[in-house]
Amino acid sequence: MTPRHLGCLALVLFLPAACGGDEPAPPQARSIEDLERQGLLPVLDRSESLGGPDTDGNGVRDDLDAWIARQDGTPARRDALRQLARAFRDALLIHGDTIAAQEAAWRTTRAVACVMAHSGSGTEGAHAVAELRKMSANTRPRVLAYLDYAASLDGAVLSLPAGNGCDD
């Protein structure tokens, strides 16, 4: 056997060991679906619909409603999160209408203030707002709609709401 053949044989023998061979994937390589099945990630709607399913007609996507129901805190905090989910949903449905974008931004600003007012700390409130925003724009069409909404607000000036911003 030539040195070249020996090198190829060594490569064939040791390559599977270097790649992990038949070993299972490490825990961090689990799929999103595995994490959803285990309850470590919320099961999110991935349909093409911008608004997503809302079987009870409360203006909140069903998957986000389920996530909100599992959140710690008071019923008022969960109501604030639902108000924010409705505002984010409205923002996705403006279709480039500048006036509708400004109205959606006002509703979003009020809802963020409401979430902050009912959260235990600023960090807790900011985390909940960021999580809900990410989950609201969880598909390509929703991300593009959110970017369209943001572009429609270019140059807009908004003020903070008076009071806590809650709808109730």
Q: What is the pTM of this model?
A: 0.77
pLDDT band (50, 70, 90) for residue 166 = very high
Top-confidence range, 20-24, 52-56, 69-73: 52-56
More confident residue, 19 or 89: 89
The closest alpha carbon to 86, from 105, 56, 60, 57, belongs to 60
* Per-residue pLDDT at 165 exceeds 50: yes
The closest alpha carbon to 63, from 1, 7, 142, belongs to 142
* Per-residue pLDDT at 16 exceeds 80: no
pLDDT tens digits along 71-109: 988 999 999 999 999 999 999 999 889 999 999 999 999
Structure tokens at 6: 């020996």
